């Protein structure tokens, strides 16, 4: 049961990142404009980093490869994202996004602490070593 819940957590935590990552790939100019409007410089570099985190690292988490590291990196990534893009807490929509990101971070920290269970590439690799 525990492994099934860990697998379910990975499945439920990843779509929000993949959706955002795909949109950044499809419309990089809009993403860089949004970053610039929030006071960020070097938006091209940060966009590349965001795309990497929201696609490659998220896919690793989804498929259960390097789960603890993937979850840890995504949780760390969400800290500046939340503080830069969702800190206008007087705006109800931004407050909601801020609180949602805290919840997502909580789930990621749990995966970082406890791993992804038996339904993962990590588990298959451990079996091959044994």
The range of the structural domain enclosing residue 83 comes to: 2-129
Cα separation of 38 and 41, whole Å? 9
- pLDDT tens column, 27-79: 999 999 999 999 999 999 999 999 999 999 999 999 999 999 999 999 999 99
Cα separation of 15 and 55, whole Å? 10
pLDDT of 1 > 90? The answer is no
Confidence category of residue 112, pLDDT binned at 50, 70, 90: very high
Count of domains in the chain?
1
Express as a percent the part of the chain with pLDDT over 70.
100
- What pLDDT is recorded for position 129? 80
What is the average pLDDT across 79-86?
A: 96
């Amino acid at each position: 049961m525990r492994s099934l819940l860990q697998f379910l957590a990975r499945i439920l935590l990843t779509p929000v990142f993949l959706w955002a990552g795909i949109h950044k790939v499809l419309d990089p100019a809009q993403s860089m404009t949004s970053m610039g409007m929030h006071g960020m410089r070097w938006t091209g570099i940060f966009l590349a980093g965001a795309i990497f985190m929201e696609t490659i690292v998220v896919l690793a988490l989804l498929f259960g490869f390097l789960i603890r590291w993937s979850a840890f990196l995504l949780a760390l990534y969400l800290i500046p994202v939340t503080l830069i893009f969702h800190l206008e807490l007087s705006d109800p929509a931004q407050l909601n996004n801020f609180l949602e990101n805290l919840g997502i971070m909580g789930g990621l920290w749990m995966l970082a602490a406890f791993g992804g269970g038996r339904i993962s590439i990590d588990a298959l690799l451990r079996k091959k070593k044994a």
